[in-house]
Amino acid sequence: MSQTVRDWPQFGQGTLLAVHAHPDDESLSTGGLLAAWHQAGGRAVVITATRGERGETIGDEFSHLEGDHPGMAAHRHGELRGALDALGVNHHRFLDAYAEPQSRWADSGMAWLDVAGGTAGATARIPAGSFMAADQDAVVAALGRALADVRPRVVVTYGPDGGYGHPDHVRVHQVTMAAVRVAVERGAAPIESVLWRTIDPQAAAVTAAALAEQWSQIQHEAIGRSGHRRALRPPMPAASALPVVEDDLVRVPIAAVTQDVISALQAHRTQVQFIRRVDQSPDSTTGNPLVAVYALSNGVLQGMEDHETYRANPPLAPAKSGSVN
């Protein structure tokens, strides 16, 4: 099947709900869409499944938070509030607020499977009380209540692999699709489409080349939060960033909100480092989509493009009366 990447003009029409696993995912994965939706006058809502209690930290300044789950949760909640303010999102809830009976789902943690390649997986043991240990039916029911409360027109989350394999991300994808299916069947929310964050293969090679050029300029400078120099890792090769996708993709232009997304990333100081804008010449004809670079705790240099790409999935239509499933 041939692939089409098309612009998506429906900014700001109704309510957009982004469902994420941890504080910082809203900015790293869908920050441009959230900011653009708000800028167009729409209502953007974020639901976060956990408080990122087991997240890795960057620099000596925050190292004391690792292992202090209540302290980490409180700190990252504060970072999340700052990021949401930067993106213009003023509607946020943690998913467990919708749980019945009342629950609190913690970050499940992860293990790096390939640090340089940026892929992760589950830890050897699933922690008690974590999101992965929670009963999936209970989690789906909680998100169903959230959908009925928020009544979004568009829902956005990760694709089936969670973006890079984090088990909480994968579970969020599974729970979101299950809850959307139930909500549509019951008419509980006016959902028209579900967006999965993905990569634009048409731009990936150009972005990789631009990242390599940035790497050659900055490989000798890496500044840690505590003032110590930190080593960065080279960006992933273009081939490793090319998923096999046969569906039509939707491109969301975000150049106008680049600074909003950068400010959101800067709010997540425990998680994101080396945030630098890449200024483009006004008369540039290179088609370079790179507008910023940054790195996470694994130190791998990554890029932010002037657009975000999504796979658009229409939700399942309600079953007709008398039909057999």
Per-residue pLDDT 10s for the chain (325 aa) are 334 455 555 567 799 999 999 999 999 999 999 999 999 999 999 999 999 999 999 989 999 999 999 999 999 999 999 999 999 999 999 999 999 988 999 999 887 667 766 787 778 789 999 999 999 999 999 999 999 999 999 999 999 988 887 999 999 999 999 999 999 999 999 998 899 999 887 788 888 889 988 888 876 554 443 444 456 888 887 644 444 455 678 888 899 999 999 999 999 999 999 999 997 654 444 578 899 999 998 888 999 999 999 998 876 544 343 333 2
**Cα torsion angle, 173, 33, 142, 324, sign:** negative
Nearest to 7 by CA among 315, 314, 312, 313: 312
CB distance 23 to 51 below 8 Å:
yes
Nearest to 309 by CA among 201, 174, 160: 201
> Distance between CA 311 and CA 56 in Å, rounded?
29
d(CA 230, CA 233): 10
If you search the block for the tokens 């920050």, which residue do you land on? 31
Q: How many domains does the chain have?
A: 2
Whether residue 17 is found in the same domain as residue 152: yes
Q: Does residue 293 lie in a domain region?
A: yes
128 and 16 housed in the same domain: yes
CA dist 101 and 111 (Å) reads 30
**Distance of CA 224 to CAs 27, 53, 143, 200, 230, Å?**
21, 22, 38, 31, 5
Among 198, 232, 262, the domain boundary falls at 198
Residue 125 lies inside a defined structural domain of this protein: yes
Question: How many helices, marked H, and strands, marked E, lie in the chain?
Answer: 6, 13
Flag whether 322 is in a domain: no
Same-domain pairing of 53 and 146: yes
Domain match, 168 and 209 both: no
Pair (85, 232) in one structural domain: no
Read off the pTM: 0.88
* 229, β-bridge pairs: 223
